[in-house]
Structure 1
Amino acid sequence: MKSAPSAAAASAEPLAEHVYRELRKAIVRCEFEPGTRLRVEELTRRLGASSSPVREALNRLAEQGMVRTLENRGFRVAQLTAEGVEDLVRVRLLVECEALRDSIAHGDDAWEAGVVAAAHSLGLVERRLGEGPRALDDDWSARHRAFHLSLYAGCTSEILRGLVDVLFDRAEHYRRWTAKHRQAPRRKHDEHQKLMAVALARDADKASELLRRHIARTSQLVTSVLNGDPPEWVQ
């Protein structure tokens, strides 16, 4: 992560928003280990910003559950726990399945084209990486995120889309940490292709069921790694 915002980034968004997004990205990518103390003075140097936007970013991330506030002791990166995964998955299923159903019901031609383009882009980087590790590749992660969010882009609720965005990054934090500690990779290409196909076929029931399975598999893998017991199907 750059120590100071670039001219392009500064002109594209307010400094406070840039600081928030950079810090959120750093946490998601596990540049700070779970439980790490986040010192405002160190972050101001790292991000090239004053303490005000850094504190604002930390408070926003605390509201989203990615950071924990300590009474009179500042901030820490949230711990990753099996209980936290279970709770997160429960909310993701409620929010993302509803957002997907709404997208399927209201998505137009542009939505379909966006889903196809995002799936194709993800497939390209997967072919480039071959059998190598993907989960910790930043390009793959960005395209993977773009594909999932493209599925919800047709949703008519701005609130739902905002919740999906935050929940996906919270899940991504778990996924990236898990990828650093598991023994073998999980291949999700077929799951993504099937999800795309049923969404474009406007089969909301089947798409929701595939999404539930997709999220559940991730939850199972994360929980198993947290418990030190990788499941057989990822070995």
Structure 2
Amino acid sequence: MTDHNSLRAPMLKRKVLADYVYEEILSSLIDGRREPAGTISIDGLARELNVSQTPVREALARLEHTGMVRRVALKGYTVAPLSTAAELAQLVDARLVIEPTNAEWACSRATAELCDALRETIERLGASHTGATYAEFRDYWKADEDFHRIIAENADNPFVLAAYKTLGGQIQRFRYFAGMGVTDAESAILEHTAILQAFLDRKPERAREAMVEHLQGVKSRSVRDSGGTA
């Protein structure tokens, strides 16, 4: 008889290792410890983190989808440059195409459990540190990502969900918080709370409007923090 527990343990161990490697590389990228356009050595990272090359390759593939690293044919991976103000604005414009619809659809089928899950992410936002390093604002970023992800997953459309996942959420913008900390926590919490209220009131159109207002605020603040104009 197959011992399913004995099979599950190595799989769990591998996932924990993969997540650890991903977080370590992501931290170095967000904190600016790796120069934009700099070459990334898979072998060097493996030695630095004391792991095999496999979890490093897996982590870099995941990071490529976020736009944090770029893969160049025959050359390997390089660190992506910081997004320009115009690129950050375009990213939010893309989110404005998808996320208000997600909010409307998810609100139309909202349950008490969904509202509780959204409320929990807002509570985490308020309780999280917003300091100048990734280690300090990591929990804040995760809570922010979870809020939008939960809404997207509950919109109940796998194709729209797939499109949402390709955008990489807020990760590019958070690179600008390295060295200064999160600059708009108060505004973001208020805007998330307005979206939650629409869910509690079971008002899908208001949920759409509140998401638009939130993302427009994100766009304005992103451009400001990047020091440019869209």
Q: TM-score, normalised by structure 1?
A: 0.72
In the TM superposition, 1:1-235 aligns within 5 A as 11=12, 14=15, 17-18=18-19, 21-22=22-23, 25-26=26-27, 29-30=30-31, 32-79=34-81, 80-123=83-126, 125=127, 133=131, 137-169=137-169, 171-174=170-173, 176-180=174-178, 185-186=183-184, 187-188=186-187, 189-227=189-227
SS in 2 for 1:75: strand
1:157-214 per-position Cα deviation (integer Å, ceiling 9, x unaligned): 2343344345354x2331x222236699322222222121112222222222222222
Q: Is the 8 A contact 1:28 1:173 kept in 2?
A: no
Pairwise CA distance, 1:36: 3.5
Contact conserved, 2:110 with 2:202, CA < 8 A, in 1?
no
Q: Shift of residue 44 of structure 1?
A: 1.3
Gaps of 5+ in 2: 1-8
CA gap of 1:201–1:20, structure 2 versus 1, over 3 A, is: farther
Contact 2:66–2:166, Cα closer than 8 Å, also in 1: yes
Give the secondary-structure state (helix, strand or coil) at the position aligned to 2:208: helix
- Which whole-Å CA distance do the structure 2 matches of 1:202 and 1:9 have between them? 44
Write out the 4+ residue segments of structure 1 that deviate beyond 4 Å after TM superposition: 132-136, 181-184
Q: 1:70 to 1:214 in 2, by over 3 A?
A: same
Shift in Å at residue 40 of structure 1? 0.9
Q: Is this contact kept in 2: 1:19–1:57, CA < 8 A? A: no
RMSD between aligned residues: 3.4
Tell me if the contact between 1:89 and 1:215 (Cα under 8 Å) persists in the aligned partners.
yes
- Name stretches of at least 5 consecutive residues in structure 1 with no aligned partner: 1-7, 230-235
Aligned residues: 215
State whether residues 102 and 155 of structure 2, in contact with CA within 8 Å, keep that contact through their aligned partners in structure 1: yes
Find the residue that maps to 2:78 and give its secondary structure: strand
Q: Deviations over 1:1-39 (max 9, x none)?
A: xxxxxxx99626547853674367436743545434321
Higher relative contact order, chain-length normalized (CA < 8 Å, sep 6+): 2
Q: TM-score, normalised by structure 2?
A: 0.73
Find the aligned partners of 1:223 and 1:210 in 2 and give their Cα distance: 20
